[in-house]
A and B are shown apart, each in its own frame.
Chain A
Amino acid sequence: MAATPNVIIDPVTRIEGHLRIQAHAVPDGMGGGTITDPGLSASTMVRGLEKILQGRDPRDAWAFTQRICGVCTVVHGLTSVRAVEHAIGIKVSKNADYIRNMMIGAQYVHDHVMHFYHLHALDWVDVVSAMKANPTRTAALARINNGTYKPNNGALPNAAYFQTVLNKLNNLVSRGQLGLFANGYWGHSAYKLSPEENLLLVSHYLEALAWAREVVKLHSVFGGKDPHPNLVVGGMPCTLSSNTGTVNDEKGGTSLNTEGLATIKTAVTRMKAFVDQVYLPDVILVAKRYKEWANFGATAGNFLCYGEFPDPALVKREFTDGAIDYPAGYIIPQGVIWADAPTTLTPFDEKMVTENVAHAWYLGSDTGEHPSVGETELYYDGPLPDQGRNPDGTSKYMLDENARYSWIKSPRYDDQPMEVGPLAHILTMHARGGTANAQPTDKLVRKYVQQLWINPTAQGGLGLTFTQLNSTLGRIFCRVLETKIIADQIAGRAADTAAGTAAYAGWYQLYYNNKAGAYWNPNTFTRLQQPNLWPVQVGFGFTEAPRGALGHWVKLNRVSGLIDNYQCVVASQWNAGPRDLVGVPGPYEEALRGHVLANLKQPLEVLRTIHSFDPCIGCAVHIVDPDGKPLVQVDVNHGVCSTTRVSDMRCAS
């Protein structure tokens, strides 16, 4: 057994879901230390969603899977819709693909911006230091860093604007009510930004909240609400309004009227503007101050993408052809990158995906099975909660890397742990950019990686190497870079002679031109009653979610037409999963190796790397029980307490 963990973060905050991190740092004698072995990443919440899906109408599955996560709200729903469409052999219209692309794309832009400002920024930005900023100098900095961004009632921010932000912070402090900002690691020696840089980023933290609210209106027009917009198997439920004017009792109509289309256009324009004017320059500013973070947080170097953003223009005959059938035209390629050849894209084979439960709280295969046959049942045998602490302050609740320790299963591809997400996206695009099948977006990726990351500082770059992209900082950089690529893909972009790419109208405009076309395949619901026409035994649906490769497998019953088995292998599961049977750690765990901590009681450095993956733990946890067997009676008998009903908690303390 490895050394007792002395770095514990539980709960890990500023993520989606519930996560515990344990690691052991070799103490340096001055309160800090170095993590020399992989850490331990444990999800501590389970709901049992796949179990709930058995026996349901396949048309309903999207609504269930959407609630896997309210942050990645669109992608789980769409993956399910695609899995069912694949299972029953239904193709969708061009418009459906354009709209789905825009909805997934808007999800990327929204999530990535909010991740940077609201979940990750406070790891790099010291709010207390911001309070010492000089507002005049901050305004000067804003002019250099975000010269075209005008949040100040349409004007550039001036000293008075930043003074207002300062006042808000001062108010919190003078009241002694720091709210969300209380108990941060403020003043930690690892914070490097100047007070003015801190204040600038705090102001963008607030601005981004207002911006996000506008962006999700795209989901609302197409899907009726956000979070959890509505979708439908066979296309999209929204349709062009017969009434271009206001929707009302008399004239009827739908959200896709003149006003709704304008709302989408505004959202698209704002997305692009905020990424160009604020998010991208802010990431570069932070990267310049924290360059050493390109040396920490590397995973084993294997990357996986299922592929996303099919090109609807490839559809020749609607409902016969489908854009999803043309992986060659995906913006983010489908494929695998292995550590020994980081610039080579190799083909992806869905059959090589397995899951094992060697270190997860399930009964099932320790060695790994394909998701379509995997069989697992909830089986908690971890330590009991609520036992308080030892007299010396150490935890009584400690997870053991040699036992089961997480509600996340370990997915493997060709028996290897894979990193998924923005870094994988950029690497696969970069790799394809070097082949005959290079897409315009690949060429742009290569241009920006060279210009912003590799070029020496004298030329305005960060002066880092391509290999260093596999790092904490690299992940943050790749996230903003793909956000820019996608925002431009939606809104359109001008020709770029340096990259060698032509102008592109963008998905919004292409959809707009075709808006009178079809939205839904009218054969869908009848096809569900014709199992003899279903092409496959198990439907596979995938998306490339903002956090990475997301796959759903659905097996339908050919007599009842209902769901026999449902299985999701999701992005954060790849990244946050535990060790496998042979003890190979998952990406989060591997990435912690080598971290140097200034203060073991304030493990800011660990948080930086974990947050760089953008954990989404609700997504990562699920169970399956294909035979519909009753769940195992979980009988935890640790000799501490034999009664288990909540009513017994009244006296426990």
Chain B
Amino acid sequence: MSTDLPSRSDHSHMQADSSDGVTFDEATVERLLQLGISRRRFMSYCAGLASLLALPQSMVPRLAQAATSTTLPSVVYMSFQECTGCLESMVNSFAFSGGTTIENLILNMISLDYQETLMAAAGDQAEERLLSVTDQSDYVLVVDGSIPARWDSGYFISGERSGVARFRDAAKNAALIVAVGTCASFGGLPKADPNPTDALSIGDLMADLGISKPLINISGCPPIPEVITGVILYYLSQGMPTLDSLRRPTVFYGDTVHEDCYRKESFEEGPLAWAFDDANSRKGKCLYMLGCKGPVTHNACSRIRWNQGTSFPMMSGHGCIGCSEPDFWDRPNRRNEKGFYIPIAAGSGHTRGLPCNTCHDDIGGDDD
């Protein structure tokens, strides 16, 4: 578990301190010169990234190497039954002050060789591109969206091919498959009851197709941008991260958002917020009674925060909806009712000494 992870406020501290004592190899230094990035800025970026990824500072040079290599690792990003929220989130990615942004990531650190929403090529030229890059080997295949189980259902066709065929062909030579977002990781919205299109998560589809390749799930609807880019860079520099039983990197999904929520004291001891905009809401008291799913939701929102540390759902007054967990759209709460405003059954989650129902599949019962 990652209880020893530095909290958000620790990042700046580590950034400032760590620019000493780390040496880059010559190639890295030369590359930085070429790219017009100052060593110091780059250093602080790598240090921030390392601390985000809970890596020892001794790993910084390796990160730096990966980030400045002359042949960039190829990333193929394919979209299926999705809403583009995951990509939109990734486009907001900005590591740390003075650090690398999505612009630099795309231009300098990876070669984003296929991404339908951003790529210049269209139609036949886009298809040719997809075929030629997936003909090579060792690219990272990033996928968002679920995929309809039946290839001939017509529920997903692109470039005259079904979702199943498109994925199967693109997966063939991939070194790693990364499912971005809860739709790709667990089926998400399309799979919500009654799953009208027979939508599958990427993991389930791989099992169905008999594809055994390394898979990382980066869940969230959408995931936090720095988590998406952070995991990709981690893999490129360090290899496979440690995963939980749902194949999510424990460094980001090891804790619940409740663990790091500043409202936790009132969860334990009260008072609670009972309505939006009431006096306790303004004081930032716990949103448990308004349906917060924080105690059963594994994610880093309260630690990393969203949009470069601007806020996170509970800080802006709304409970967690649980978006990084499987089947969160259909989660049963008190009295077995579904709903984002229905409090979770007492005893759910990592709190009050009881087992976490997400980790242990022990969904709490009726409490009133």
Q: Which residues of A contact B (CB under 8 A)?
A: 8-18, 44-49, 51-52, 56-57, 59-60, 63-64, 67-71, 73, 118-119, 122, 127, 164, 167-168, 171-172, 175, 177, 179-186, 206, 209-210, 212-213, 216-217, 219-232, 234-243, 247-249, 252-256, 260, 263, 361, 378, 380, 382, 384-387, 395-397, 518-520, 522, 525, 601-603, 607, 618, 623, 631, 634, 636, 641, 644-650, 652
Contacts and interface: CB of A to CB of B under 8 A. Distances in A.
Lowest 3 A-B CB distances belong to which pairs? A70-B85, A48-B196, A380-B154
Interface string B334-363: 000111111000000000000000000000
Contact of B307 (A10, A15, A185, A225): A225
B316 A52 contact: no
B194 A51 contact: yes
A168 B106 CA distance: 11
Given A18-B79, A230-B313, A255-B311, 6 more contacts: A45-B157, A56-B339, A119-B117, A386-B161, A387-B160, A650-B168
Contact of A45 (B74, B81, B266, B307): B81
A252 B284 contact: yes
A191 B346 CA distance: 64
Nearest to B306: A225
A527 to B, nearest CB: 13
Residue of B83, B149, B200 with highest tally of chain A CB at under 10 A? B83
Contact of B150 (A168, A213, A644): A644
B276 A237 contact: yes
B137 interface: no
A216 B84 contact: no
Given A221-B310, A232-B276, A623-B196, A171 B35 contact: yes
A212 B197 contact: no
B152 A644 contact: yes
12 contacts: A10-B158, A13-B121, A47-B199, A67-B189, A172-B107, A225-B307, A234-B276, A247-B262, A249-B262, A386-B161, A397-B157, A644-B151
B160 A52 contact: no
A644 B197 CA distance: 13
Contact of B277 (A9, A177, A223, A519): A519
A219 to B, nearest CB: 8
A519 B107 contact: no
Contacts of A361: 154
B42 interface: no
A289 B281 CA distance: 55
B27 interface: no
B311 A636 contact: no
A378 B154 CA distance: 10
A223 B317 CA distance: 8
B122 interface: yes
A179 B154 contact: no
B125 A185 contact: yes
B94 interface: yes
B310 A646 contact: no
Given A249-B262, A644-B150, A518 B315 contact: no
A127 B107 CA distance: 14
Nearest to A11: B158
Prevailing SS type, chain A contact patch: loop
Contact of B87 (A52, A70, A256, A518): A70
B184 interface: no
Interface string B86-123: 11110110100000011100111011110111111111
B101 A209 contact: yes
Nearest to B314: A224
B152 A71 contact: no
Interface string B59-89: 0000000000011101000011111111111
A180 B34 CA distance: 21
Contacts of B282: 239-242, 253-254
Interface in B137-173: 149-162, 164-165, 168
A247 B315 contact: yes
B264 interface: yes
B107 A168 contact: yes
Interface of B: 34-36, 70-72, 74, 79-89, 91-92, 94, 101-103, 106-108, 110-113, 115-129, 149-162, 164-165, 168, 189-190, 192-194, 196-197, 199-200, 205, 208-210, 221-222, 262-266, 275-279, 281-285, 301, 306-308, 310-318, 321, 323, 329, 337-342
Contacts of A631: 196
A63 B155 contact: no
Contacts of A219: 307
B317 A13 contact: no
A70 B84 contact: yes
Contact of B276 (A17, A520, A648): A520
Given A180-B106, A618-B82, A385 B125 contact: no
A248 B262 contact: yes
B308 A217 contact: yes
A252 B339 CA distance: 26
A212 B91 CA distance: 9
Contact of B284 (A183, A254, A263, A396): A254
A297 B58 CA distance: 58
A650 B117 contact: no
A237 B262 contact: no
Contact of A47 (B165, B190, B208, B276): B190
B48 to A, nearest CB: 16
B149 A646 contact: yes
A181 B189 contact: no
B188 to A, nearest CB: 8
A67 B222 CA distance: 10
Nearest to A48: B196
A263 to B, nearest CB: 6
B92 A385 contact: no
Nearest to B262: A249
**Most chain A CB within a 10 A radius of its CB, from B125, B127, B316:** B316
B122 A12 contact: yes
Contacts of B113: 177, 179, 182
A520 B157 contact: no
A239 B277 contact: yes
Contact of A12 (B71, B123, B151, B341): B123
A440 to B, nearest CB: 32
Contacts of B118: 14, 118, 180
A13 B284 contact: no
A341 to B, nearest CB: 37
A649 B88 contact: no
A631 B94 CA distance: 44
Contacts of A69: 83-85
B107 A171 contact: yes
A78 B167 CA distance: 34
B120 A122 contact: yes
A255 B263 CA distance: 13
B158 A45 contact: yes
Given A11-B158, A17-B84, A385-B157, A167 B122 contact: no
